[in-house]
Structure 1
Amino acid sequence: MDEQQPTKKIKLEDPVSTADSNHDNEEDSKPVVIKKDKDSNRLCPYLDTINRQYLDFDFEKLCSVSLTRINVYACLVCGKYFQGRGTNTHAYTHSVAESHHVFLNLHTLKFYCLPDNYEIIDSSLDDIKYLLNPIFTTEQIHAMDNSTKLSRAIDGTLYIPGIVGLNNIKANDYCNVVLQALSHVKPLRDYFLREENYNKVKRPPGDSTYLLVSRFGELQRKLWNPRNFKVHVSPHEMLQAVVLWSHKKFQFTQQGDPIDFLSWFLNELHRALNGTKKRKSSIIFKTFLGSMKIYSRKIPPTDLDEKQKWQLMQTPEYQEQEQESPFLYLTCDLPAPPLFIDELRENIIPQVNLYQLLMKFNGQSEKECKTYKENFMRRYEITQLPPFLILYIKRFTKNTFFVEKNPTIVNFPVKNVDFGEFLTPENRAKHKRTIYDLVANIVHDGEPTKGTYRVHILQKSTGKWYEMQDLHVIDILPQMITLTEAYIQIYELRA
């Protein structure tokens, strides 16, 4: 039996939640006809008007008219977002004006037919609900790295879950490559694919770092969604959270540095997950945290004679100091490029072996470090290798006037990299395994301030490598990866 009541006082057997109500239009006093019998709930004559190719839930959930985030519905015919459901709301007006009748509440994931204002319950809409909120079981996650099954988008295009492009909104390729690389770090991916792992993490009032965590989790679920409608994902909501929480330090309207973003992002995720200084206090530290000893000693002034230098070196101030230091990534210094040119009057691009760069951490090689007042000699000794090791190959030198790029090519194997070779015998004995395989390789192309970034990703189930540059995804031979100007690399400890 139909029930007629004022809009402000809707009372049904199944009460409408706050998110579903039309409380934003209290001035409206016209009656709304609510159809509540079971048949009307289940039978909707407008389901064939839904245009799935127009549906895109990657962008901010804002009403396209009022720009509010409260009580937003998606029109499943044109894909636009509107607020409210009662009479005189934007969704209701759109329904009457355009004859678009099927809407989805983006918060409750319930479907409604407007302007009749009844809930639609139909299993044929489950794919739309899954697109908005993909859910993964533990079994599905465990099978990801072994499955070779291709998925099909709404237009028939085949794609591999996890190997999908990310939109470049303007200049966010430096963020995209980091997000793509992290999405293939298995423990991190598995953790964020299950929302229950972090949705109950308590944060202090007013602390919005949880927004960063939830947005990253949403992005991971979309990247690995086997039932996507399209073969790319927009990181718009993720980037909005980055801009907000970094106080506009990182933006998608101007180019940034991936290593700065990666360092900030990992530390903020760790803090948002209530991580402490303890080694296994968050999934970030469990995955990436290693430790080293840093030995430093002051260098005596150069204007002293040998005897004075020797005497100064005996004082406590000039004795070598030892400090234990954790790390999330290792910085590898490239040798200075040669200044000479060959007979064709072209610059020679030098090459260096990765192992040469890693000798910096063998506990014996000393490196001069300058501060504003004093000079130090430092040596680094790795004491604990993490399950996933991030290498930052320092290519850019910045000063007051310009930025210089070192084009040196780093020769590295993509498999069987033994990081135990630069450990001391004592530290090597602490590790059961030291063999790593490359899983992600971020590359910089072009000029220091105008260049672009791309990333190489290992797809584990097939063993193939893919190159991703925003929306462009192609397969690539592993031999070609080593010829690029590698900038950030992620290695996985072999089991």
Structure 2
Amino acid sequence: MAKRRAPEDLDAMEGVTSPAPKKHRSEGHELFLNGQIHDEVEREAADTSEARHWASKEKEPEGSDLGEDDSEDETAVPAIRQAAPTAGYDDLYLDTINRQVLDFDFEKLCSVSLSNINVYACLVCGRYYQGRGLKSHAYFHALDEDHHVFINMQTQRVYVLPEGYEVLSRSLDDIKFVADPRYTRSDVARLDQRRNATNRPCYTLTGKPYAPGYVGMNNIKENDYLNVVVQALAHVPPLRNFLLLDDFVTKTATLGKPNAKSLDNPNAELVKRFGLLVRKIWNPRAFKAHVSPHELLQEVALRSNKRFTLTAQADPVDFLTWFLNHLHLGLGGSRTRPGSSIVQRVFQGKLRVETEKLAAVGVAAAAAAAAAAAAEQSAMSNGVGAADSMMVDTPLPVGGMPTLLPIPPNSSQHHPPPPGTGGPPPFSSFAQPPPPGVSSAPGMFTPPPPPARPPGLNGTGTSTLPPPPSSLPPPPTSSSFFAATPPVEPQQHEKASVLATPSTHLPKPTVEINRFLLLTLDLPPPPLFQDEQERNIIPQVPLTTLLSKYDGESAHIAHVDHGDVRRRFQLQGPLPPYLVLHMKRFTANKFITERNPTIVTFDPRGLDMRPYVEGADSNRADEYTYDLVANVVHEAVRARGDDVAVDSAEERRTWKVQLRDRSAATAANDEKSALAGAGAGEDKWVVAQDLFVEPVAGELLYLAESYIQIWERRRQASSSKPQVQPRKAQSKS
């Protein structure tokens, strides 16, 4: 197919001018003349482009995240930054917020730069980004993902990007409260009130009911040892109220910059994060019925030099002691002044320790033995008397037989006499004599031969064999020894008697008053064998038996660097408001860590501590009566192998905590509590293990292996008098 030809020849179109552009024709000016641009129009266009370039440089905000080295197109127009939303568009982009994905429990780190400075959270996807300038990570995230609403995790202020203005809508107050809950004194006072028609249960976003304070905690990997300790401490009312009401953010930082006090106190951030976690546990408007201790775990791993991490299991008692001491220092407590922080005012008590050294008895006995050896040596150096007193080979009861010469003191064994000096005849000289009444020759009668000389006697009648053991004299006693030795100088006798009396060298017991945060109870060793009825499979011991360690009479022997010591313990009044008891259940040897499965039986109400307090007043029983608040229990789980017959399978430790639910008591017990005093109502109990929270009967608490217990001192009965007086007034009327 041939190519189609043009309808007109191109040479005929040389003198025809092209039409002017529409942009310039619409302005009504003839700017093009015969296809050539006028010089004045060209100069005006150049001036306009240069003015736009310098105007963009002047409009760039100061202090933004733009870098000086970054190259940018000169013709690009910068985004418009607004100080306030456009009129009528105050709720712009707020419908894109997704509350289902918001989780502010994780550490506030930028997902791009991993920085914790000036962090913002995207309310659409829940990620953390740094900054909100023109070249910040949050700004690029807003342009790339079309997510526009961000909240500052330090100031709780919400902004819209890329416009950059702040949102002041009241519809975002629930998000701000979840990110950083704040409470008033009236809110804290209602936490322990009983649930009734006015105190309704709380619900999550999905409609699931939950009780504030009794929520699960996420076990990231192996951090359940921290979860149970945090749950137990969060239910100690004085410590909980202090953390809910005090503002640690203003004390540790001001506008995102640490102040001088926070720089001097490295544990201030630990207190801040623990307080935030406790406030989230008691949040009545939470989006979910669980919390995550990830932010606290990161700070704990940093402060403990990786001693406590989320990837390795640890001992809750070790963590509790470390955590309480660092909380005390983080709250400004003193190392020498007692009661300088809320931690010591709640848990610290006094203990009387009487220590007696047992190594002194052994030293006195060794000194007496050395004195006896010195006296013996001096007696031997005086001559024959000493040799006679140390005679070993005593004469046989044969008349007229002289005694042997004394054996030198240095000889340690008997030597045979030399040949020719007497002794037993050789074996060839021995002949068997005929029996009595039998002649040597047949048909002849010979009288019986005289009795042969006993073996061991020579011709002189002297014994050459050692005497039988029964004929040896008994070893000399102290009295016979000193009677046989020659008189010693009076000074030596006096010195020997002093050294031989150990009672004069026993040191007096030392008494010290020490302060404690928790008391350790020693479990009895489990029996090796079962009884006939197989009742000792799992031994049991009452809690009062373990507490007898602190009665001031029971002695406990401990090994120290300089020897063994005997100690007696007794509590000193006044007792602290809360007692922390630790059952020593694990013992480490050279190979493995042994677990004591003994069950500790106890009553969760009415623990009387008067028998263990020195000078306790029997008339004031309320000051020494305690009720259980939290009970941390241990549970052994087989780590490998599902076959129960495999005895060599390792055990993995898991921890859970039993908590008293004060607000779950029934309303029918209100009158009983008012008449019998505070704490007399029937409380319910819940058991929390990781994310699972279930009710448990109070009568079955002791069936688990208790490890840590927190007991609360019962309040005075005077607090119930205002409730009793109105009933008396009604009866009179």
Q: TM-score with structure 2 length normalisation?
A: 0.62
Deviates more, 1:322-331 or 1:74-83: 74-83
Tell whether the 8 Å contact from 2:622 to 2:714 is kept in structure 1 after alignment: no
Structure 2 vs 1, CA of residues 455 and 8 (structure 1 numbering), >3 Å: closer, same or farther?
A: farther
Tell whether the 8 Å contact from 1:438 to 1:491 is kept in structure 2 after alignment: yes
In 1, the alpha carbon distance for the partners of 2:112 and 2:226 equals 30
Task: Describe the superposition over 1:122-178 as per-residue Cα deviations: whole angstroms up to 9, x where unpaired.
Answer: 100110011111000011111111152311111111111100111111111001100
Partner of residue 297, structure 1 = 356
Structure 2 vs 1, CA of residues 491 and 143 (structure 1 numbering), >3 Å: closer, same or farther?
A: same
Partner of residue 454, structure 1 = 656
The answer to whether the aligner puts 1:364 opposite 2:584 as a matched pair is: no
Task: Describe the superposition over 1:199-229 as per-residue Cα deviations: whole angstroms up to 9, x where unpaired.
Answer: 5377473542101110111111111111111
In 2, the alpha carbon distance for the partners of 1:7 and 1:72 equals 28
Partner of residue 244, structure 1 = 302
Instruction: Work out which of the residue numbers 181, 203, 211 in structure 2 matches 1:152.
Output: 203
Q: Residue type of the partner of 1:454? A: K
SS at match of 1:254: coil
Tell whether the 8 Å contact from 1:7 to 1:86 is kept in structure 2 after alignment: no
In 1, the alpha carbon distance for the partners of 2:657 and 2:276 equals 21
Instruction: Work out which of the residue numbers 177, 181, 189 in structure 1 matches 2:232.
Output: 181
Partner of residue 120, structure 2 = 73
Tell whether the 8 Å contact from 2:262 to 2:268 is kept in structure 1 after alignment: no
Instruction: Work out which of the residue numbers 352, 355, 364 in structure 1 matches 2:541.
Output: 352
SS at match of 1:482: helix
Q: Residue type of the partner of 1:441? A: N
Partner of residue 158, structure 2 = 111
Deviates more, 1:428-437 or 1:71-80: 428-437
1:87: how far off?
2.7
Instruction: Work out which of the residue numbers 377, 385, 388 in structure 1 matches 2:578.
Output: 388
Partner of residue 507, structure 2 = 318
Instruction: Give the CA RMSD over aligned residues.
Output: 2.7
Deviates more, 1:222-231 or 1:421-430: 421-430
Max Rg structure = 2
SS at match of 2:553: strand
Instruction: Work out which of the residue numbers 708, 718, 721 in structure 2 matches 1:488.
Output: 708
Tell whether the 8 Å contact from 1:299 to 1:318 is kept in structure 2 after alignment: no
SS at match of 1:74: strand
Unaligned regions of 5+ residues in structure 2, if any? 1-54, 253-259, 369-498, 638-649, 665-682, 716-733
In 2, the alpha carbon distance for the partners of 1:199 and 1:314 equals 64
Tell whether the 8 Å contact from 1:383 to 1:427 is kept in structure 2 after alignment: no
Instruction: Work out which of the residue numbers 61, 67, 74 in structure 1 matches 2:108.
Output: 61
Structure 2 vs 1, CA of residues 167 and 37 (structure 1 numbering), >3 Å: closer, same or farther?
A: closer
SS at match of 2:511: strand
Instruction: Work out which of the residue numbers 204, 212, 215 in structure 2 matches 1:164.
Output: 215
Number of residue pairs the alignment of both structures matches: 482
1:37: how far off?
4.1
Partner of residue 90, structure 1 = 137
Q: Residue type of the partner of 1:194? A: L
In 2, the alpha carbon distance for the partners of 1:283 and 1:113 equals 42
Task: Describe the superposition over 1:268-307 as per-residue Cα deviations: whole angstroms up to 9, x where unpaired.
Answer: 1111222123332110011000001100101145597699
Structure 2 vs 1, CA of residues 218 and 42 (structure 1 numbering), >3 Å: closer, same or farther?
A: farther
Deviates more, 1:42-51 or 1:357-366: 42-51
Tell whether the 8 Å contact from 1:42 to 1:120 is kept in structure 2 after alignment: no
In 2, the alpha carbon distance for the partners of 1:45 and 1:5 equals 27
1:314: how far off?
3.5
Q: Residue type of the partner of 1:226? A: P
Deviates more, 1:346-355 or 1:135-144: 346-355
Partner of residue 51, structure 1 = 98
Instruction: Work out which of the residue numbers 613, 624, 628 in structure 2 matches 1:434.
Output: 624
Unaligned regions of 5+ residues in structure 1, if any? 12-20
Partner of residue 275, structure 2 = 217
Tell whether the 8 Å contact from 2:632 to 2:706 is kept in structure 1 after alignment: yes
In 2, the alpha carbon distance for the partners of 1:41 and 1:200 equals 39
Q: Residue type of the partner of 1:166? A: M
In 2, the alpha carbon distance for the partners of 1:195 and 1:310 equals 67
Structure 2 vs 1, CA of residues 263 and 7 (structure 1 numbering), >3 Å: closer, same or farther?
A: farther
Tell whether the 8 Å contact from 2:552 to 2:568 is kept in structure 1 after alignment: yes
Tell whether the 8 Å contact from 1:171 to 1:253 is kept in structure 2 after alignment: yes
Deviates more, 1:407-416 or 1:90-99: 90-99
Task: Describe the superposition over 1:375-406 as per-residue Cα deviations: whole angstroms up to 9, x where unpaired.
Answer: 11100010031100000000001122110010
Partner of residue 14, structure 1 = none
SS at match of 1:456: strand
Question: What is the 5 A alignment of 1:193-232?
Answer: 193-196=244-247, 199-200=250-251, 203=261, 205=263, 207-232=265-290
Question: What is the 5 A alignment of 1:135-150?
Answer: 135-148=182-195, 149-150=200-201
Structure 2 vs 1, CA of residues 438 and 77 (structure 1 numbering), >3 Å: closer, same or farther?
A: same
Deviates more, 1:121-130 or 1:105-114: 105-114
Q: Residue type of the partner of 1:480? A: L
Task: Describe the superposition over 1:238-286 as per-residue Cα deviations: whole angstroms up to 9, x where unpaired.
Answer: 1111111111111111000000000011011111222123332110011
Partner of residue 435, structure 2 = none
Q: Residue type of the partner of 1:175? A: L
Partner of residue 288, structure 1 = 347
Q: Residue type of the partner of 2:635? A: D
The answer to whether the aligner puts 1:338 opposite 2:397 as a matched pair is: no
Instruction: Work out which of the residue numbers 598, 609, 613 in structure 2 matches 1:408.
Output: 598
1:312: how far off?
3.4
In 2, the alpha carbon distance for the partners of 1:104 and 1:379 equals 59
In 2, the alpha carbon distance for the partners of 1:245 and 1:7 equals 47
Give me the identity figure in percent.
Answer: 44
Partner of residue 65, structure 2 = 23
Deviates more, 1:228-237 or 1:28-37: 28-37
1:65: how far off?
1.4
Deviates more, 1:123-132 or 1:439-448: 439-448
In 1, the alpha carbon distance for the partners of 2:634 and 2:67 equals 52
Bigger strand share: 1
The answer to whether the aligner puts 1:256 opposite 2:342 as a matched pair is: no
In 1, the alpha carbon distance for the partners of 2:66 and 2:107 equals 20
In 2, the alpha carbon distance for the partners of 1:490 and 1:271 equals 22
1:5: how far off?
7.0
1:121: how far off?
1.5
Structure 2 vs 1, CA of residues 27 and 58 (structure 1 numbering), >3 Å: closer, same or farther?
A: farther
SS at match of 1:386: coil
SS at match of 2:513: strand
Structure 2 vs 1, CA of residues 343 and 264 (structure 1 numbering), >3 Å: closer, same or farther?
A: same
SS at match of 2:652: coil
Task: Describe the superposition over 1:181-206 as per-residue Cα deviations: whole angstroms up to 9, x where unpaired.
Answer: 00000000000112337853774735
1:465: how far off?
0.7
